[in-house]
Structure 1
Amino acid sequence: MSHIRKQLRAFAADMLKGSSFCGSKVFASRARPLAREEVAAAFVYTSDEASEDVTTDGVQQRSIRLRIDVVAKGDEVTKADALDDEFAVYAERQFAADPQLGGLANASEYRGATFAMTVDGEKTFHVMSMTYQVTVFTRNSDPETAL
């Protein structure tokens, strides 16, 4: 098995594959440049976590921030709109359909998005970062198993 954060990243990455925007180019915690022929890709991270003991026998509540960075290159207006229309709508529907992320989490809540754009030579790059707050219960002696 693996740490619950790794399991969450893998599940979310698989869940987000299939959008018309990124297709299968969704990766768990792997930053990499877009290849010349690639137009868009998404990357799933667990950017931070806070935990607290909720029982005296070692049950912990973990509050994990799951971040999805979508990187796209292309026209300033059409790519910005496609990030919303083709990826954000798809991602939000996927999370709404399975807020417990396949039983790994007790809950997931959409917290917001940020947007950035940069121009490198003749190419415009767009980045949309979506954030979800994920609640998971584990035992402090077993960070691999969700309760």
Structure 2
Amino acid sequence: MTHVRQQIREAFIAKLIAAAMPGAEIMKARTLKVDPVNGPIILVFAPTETSDVSAMGKIPPLEREVSISLEGYVKGGVDIEDDLDDIAEAVEQAFGADPKLGGLVKSTFLVSTNMDIGGGSEQRVANIQMAYKVRYRTMSHEPSTSIQ
């Protein structure tokens, strides 16, 4: 079995692939230099997670909240900000339509979006960072099984 956090990352990746962003490459994490020469690149990773005991007992359940970060990179010209907004629209539609990720989690919601447009050359590189909070529960001794 895999940790629920990994299952959540994989669910995010599957939803992004299904969102059918033309030419987009979806990656689990940044492992190499990111160069969106052939189309958008979107990275998915979970930088932080917090948890708290949600009930008392011999083996207590944990309320967990994981941050899922999406970073999208594009190259372009004068319409580069529109390209970032296209990514944001596709992402928000995908997760807004299924905030429980098929029953895996209690909730998924967007908490912030930041954009950075660099350079002044013809082929500028820009990125968008979207942060999601995902709430789910597990038993403290079974991190690979989500519970409601």
| Amino acid paired to 1:116 | D
Alpha-carbon displacement from aligned partner over 1:74-118 (angstroms, at most 9, x marks no partner): 21x31211211x211111111111101122210011112011122
CA displacement at 1:15 relative to structure 2 = 0.2
The percent identity for this pair of structures is: 24
Root-mean-square deviation (Å): 2.0
- 1:142–1:22 CA distance, 2 compared to 1 (3 A): farther
* Structure 1: gaps of 5 or more residues: none
Aligned to 1:68: 70
Question: Measured at CA, do residues 35 and 71 of structure 1 come closer, stay the same or move farther in structure 2, by a change above 3 Å?
Answer: closer
TM-score normalised by the chain length of structure 1: 0.87
Structure 1 segment 71-90 matched on structure 2, within 5 A: 71-75=73-77, 77-84=78-85, 86-90=86-90
Match of 1:59 in 2: 61
After TM superposition, the score normalised by the length of structure 2 is 0.87
Task: Tell me if the contact between 1:107 and 1:134 (Cα under 8 Å) persists in the aligned partners.
Answer: yes
In the aligned structure 1, how far is the partner of 2:38 from the partner of 2:101?
28
| Counterpart secondary structure, 1:146 | strand
Query: Does the 8 Å contact 1:9/1:29 carry over to 2?
Result: no
Native 8 Å contact 1:28 1:44 kept in 2: yes
Displacement of 1:37 after TM fit? 4.2
Pair 1:26 & 2:26 matched? yes
Unaligned runs of 5+ in 2: none
**2-structure distance, mates of 1:42, 1:22:** 12
Q: How far off its partner does 1:42 sit?
A: 0.4
Aligned residues: 145
- Matched residues in 2 for 1:118 and 1:73: separation? 10
Q: How many angstroms apart in 2 are the aligned matches of 1:36 and 1:113?
A: 20
